[in-house]
Amino acid sequence: MKKWVALSALLLAAMLVASGCGGGDKKESSPSPSASQAAGSSAGEAKAITIDATNFKFDPGEITVKQGDEVSITLKNSQGNHALKIEGYDKEVKGNATVKFVADKAGEFKIVCSIFCGKGHEDMVSKLIVQ
């Protein structure tokens, strides 16, 4: 029993180390909107966003970028089989792939799942806000 506890603690530590230097594509851990505003809030930045899809939800449910930003959206299918479509931008990405485009139109664009994935399919919505 003691061995098992030690082993799982070791595993946990290893996982923490791995995630610490592994997930370089995630940019959500930067809670400093004031810092970017202070830097001049320039448009045309590269924004890499990962949307996590499960049954039946997109996370995050809202993405905000600036007009002119180079947006790269990666859809990660954590559960089920989903695809993502940005209405108004005519962009689509299937699970575990990335779509890149320039957010040249301002406004709010509905993001929907474009694969019928089951009973909660209609609930799979997110939103792209281009300011």
For Cu ion, which stretch binds (CB under 5 A), given 25-33, 34-42, 44-52, 118-126? 118-126
CA–CA separation, 74 and 94 (whole Å): 9
Give the pairing type, strands 97-102 and 70-77.
antiparallel
- For the bound state, the minimum distance from the C-beta of residue 17 to Cu ion, rounded and expressed in Å, comes to 35
- 82 burial via Cβ count (<10 Å: 0-12, 13-18, 19+): buried
Can residue 117 be called a binding residue for Cu ion (CB under 5 A)?
yes
For Cu ion, which stretch binds (CB under 5 A), given 6-14, 31-39, 61-69, 121-129? 121-129
Residue 97 DSSP code: E
Residue 77 contacts residue 96 (beta carbons within 8 Å): yes
- For the bound state, the minimum distance from the C-beta of residue 124 to Cu ion, rounded and expressed in Å, comes to 5
Can residue 75 be called a binding residue for Cu ion (CB under 5 A)?
no
Residue 9 DSSP code: H
Of positions 101, 121, 127, 129, contacts Cu ion by CB under 5 A: 121
Question: Binding residues for Cu ion, per CB under 5 A?
Answer: 113, 115, 117, 121, 124
